[in-house]
Chains A and B, each alone.
Chain A
Amino acid sequence: MPATSSRILVIAAVLMGGLSGCATPPPPDDPDAVADYKETNDPLEPTNRAIYAFNNALDTAILKPVAQGYRYVVPGAVRGGIHNSLSNLATPVQFSNDVLEGKPRRAGDTTMRFLINSTVGVLGFFDVASDWGYPNHDSDFGITMALWGMPAGPYLFLPVFGPSDPRDAVGLGVNAAMDPFTWVGQGAAVRALDWSRWFMNGVDQRERHLDDIDSIKKTALDPYATFRSLYRQHRTSQIDDARNDNRATIPVWFPQSATPGQVTYSPTASRN
C-alpha cells in the first residue's frame, strides 16, 4: 500500500508538473507542419525531453550498470527462470484485466498458466504452460481502457517509468492497486519483499532490453522521438492483439463447435 500511494503521487506530480513546459505549436498557415504537430501529439515535448534526460542519467548511473552486472553474474537460464517467476507473480493482475477486457479465452489461458506454472513449473520458474498450448499474452489496465474506447491522449514521459500517455499512466496506478501483493500483509518484511519484486522487475526488463536500447541510441538521429514512435506502435499492436483475440468460448467437445470464420486467432508467443 505505501508503495502504491507513492507511485501514484509520482504520476500525479508528473501530470501537474508537465503543464509548465509546452511545445510551441507551428503557425497555422503551414498545414504540413500543423499535421506533423498533430500526428506527433506531444504538446509537453520540452518537459518530456527534460524527464527523458533525467531518466537517461539515472539509467546510465544506476539501472544499466546493475542490469549489465546482473547479466554478467547470473547465467541466461537462471535469468529466464527469474523472468518467468516474476511474470507468474503478475498473473492475478493479468487475469483481472483479461476479465475486464471481456476476453474469456485469455482469462482461461492466464488461469491455466498460473495453475500449471505454479505447480509443474516450480513456483513459476519454468514456463511449462507455453509448451502445453497456453501462451503468454499482454494484459494490463492501459490495454483494458483502450478496449473500453478511451483514447490514449498525448505522449507523456514519466520519471523512472519512461514512455507513457495519460491512459497508461492511470493504468500503471490501477494495475498496482489491482495487485493482491500490494494489499497482502503488513510490516517491514512484506514491504521489503514488495519493493524487491519491483526492483527485480526493473532489472529484469532492463537486462532484456540492453542490446535494443544501445542499438537505438546508436542508430537514431533523435532517440527521444524514436522511443516515442516505438512505444506507441508497440502499445497499438498489443491493444490490437487483445482486440482481435475473439476465439470462441464453445468447448471443443461440444457437438456444434465454432464456425470456421470465428476462429481467427492463432496464439503467438509474447515478449513480456
Chain B
Amino acid sequence: MVPNLSQILHIFSKDFRHHLPEILVSLCVLITFAVEQPRNWTGQPLEGRFLNGLLNALPVLMILAWAFFIVRLVQGESLVGDRQFWITRPYQWHKLLAAKLLSILLFVHLPLFLTQFALLKIANFPVASSIPGLLYVHLLFLFAIVLPSITIGTITSGIGQASLALLAVFLLMLGIVLLLTVMPDMAFAPDATDAVQGVIYLFASVTAILVQYIYRKTLLSRLVVVGAVVSIFLVIALAPYGKLINRDFPLATKAHPLPAQFTLDRALSFGHAEGHQPNSYGDEVALEIPFQVAKLPDKTIVQIRAIKLDLDLPNGEHWTSHWRSLYHSVSPGRTRDWPTISMKRAVFNRFKNAPVRAHASLGLNVFRLGPGTEVLLAGNHLSLPGGARCLNEPSQSWLKCFAALEHATPLFVIAELPSAACPVSQEATTEPWAGSPAIFADLSGDSTPGLDFTPIQQFNISLARFYVFEDHEIRLPICPETPLLVSKPEFLYSVRDEIDLGEVTLLNYVPTYPRMIVPPIQRYAPGATSDTLSWNLPRGSFLPERD
C-alpha cells in the first residue's frame, strides 16, 4: 500500500499527466496577462480592436481557464454516479481530496503568486512586505473562484453538466442584479447582508464538497447547494434594509454628533427659460437639491454616503425615493452640496408645480484628517506616503498612481490651484471659484487588498475645484514643482441627519440644459487670465497639519 503522502503524490502525478493540456492553457493565459501588464501601466493602446478586446478579456479568460482545469481535475475521479472504477479501489477520500487541492495549489495558486511576485519586482515595489497582502488576495481568490469551481466539479459528472451549473450561477447573479433594480434600498446597501451570504455560501460549498468526497451522496450535495442559493436569495430579498441602514447610520448622539449643519438653501433654485430642456433620463427626472453646509469642524471631512427624500404629496399620498447611494465628500471650505435624486417622470409631472412637504435623510460618514505630508511633484513623478507612486499626466489633469496591492484610500490631497505658476484654461474661468481649495478626496474603501489578479493597483488623483455655487467642479492641471499636501483621513463614525425641508416646489430643483441657477451670478469677463484667480491657500485651521 502506498503510504499516506505517497498516495497523494501518486494521484497528483496521474492528474498532472492527464491535465497537462489544461495546465498549459491556463499558464499561457497567465503568462500573456503578466507580459501585458507593463504595457497596461503605461496606457499604450494596441493597434487592432480584436487584440485590444482579447487583452482586456484576459482576466475573464484566466478565470475560465482555471475553472475549467479545476472542474476537470475534480471530475477526473468523478463523485457523481456509481459506475466509476475508482470507488471500489483503495482510494482514501481525504487523500484524494488532498491530491486535488495539491494540484490546485501548484498549478493555479502558485503560478499566480509567482506572477504577482514578479510583477511587484518589475514595478519596483517592495516584495517581502507585500507577501501578507498577496496571501490575503489568494484567500479571496480561493473563496471566489476556486471554491465554487471545486463545488461545481464535485456535484456534476461532466463538463456539459458543469457548464449548465455555471450558467445557473450566471443567471443567479443576473437575478441578484434584477433584485437590485426592484429593491431600491438594497441598491444602497447591497453589502448589508454580505456576511450572512458569505457564511451560507461557505457552509454550503464546504458541506457539498465533504459530503461528496466522504459519502458520494450527490442528491444531498445538490440539495445543499440549491438550498444555499435559495437561502441567499431569500436573505437578499427579505433583509430589512431600512432597519439595517438605520442601524448603520444611527441618529446623532453626544458621542457621535452631526458633523455639520445641513439645511436647504432656499435662496437657490434652477431657472427654466424658454427652450431649455429639463435634465431627464428615460422616464426619470433628476432633482438636484442645494444643501447649505455650515459648522463643519476643523480637520473634518464628511462623506454623504446616501440620501433619501420623502414627500407628502398634495393628494395625501406619500412618496419616498428610498435610500440612494452617493459618494459626495464635503471638505473644509465647502459651503454647499447638491445631492441628486431621481423620481418617475409621471409622479414629477403631476406635482411639479404644487408645493409639497419634503423631508431629507442623509447617511453621513465622518472622517478626521490625519497629519498632512507635503510632497512635491518632481518633474512628472510623485511619491505618496505609504509607497504609492504617481506619474503626472497634464493632458488629463490627473496623476496616474500605482500602489502595491491596495489603493491608497482613504486619501485626501489638497493644493494651491490654480496658481500663477499653474494656470487653467480660459474656458474654465468664466465663473468665479468657490471658497474651497482644490482637493482630491477618496473616502471609499479601506487599505485591505481586493480580489485582483494584478498586484499593481492603479488609481488617479485629480485635484478639482468647485465653482461658486459648488454645483459643479473642474479638474485642474497639476504643474511640476506644485506642492501637494497629502493626508490619510481616519474614519470616525457614521450618523444619520434627518432634515425637514419644509414646503418645496419640485420644478425649482430640476436643472435644465443649459443650466441656469437663480439668482444668476456675475461671470468673469472674457479675457481674464487664470492667474488673476490665484488663490493663496490659507494655512487655515481646516488644513491637515504638516508632519
Partners in one complex: no
Interface residues, chain A, with chain B CB atoms under 8 Å away: none
Interface residues, chain B, with chain A CB atoms under 8 Å away: none
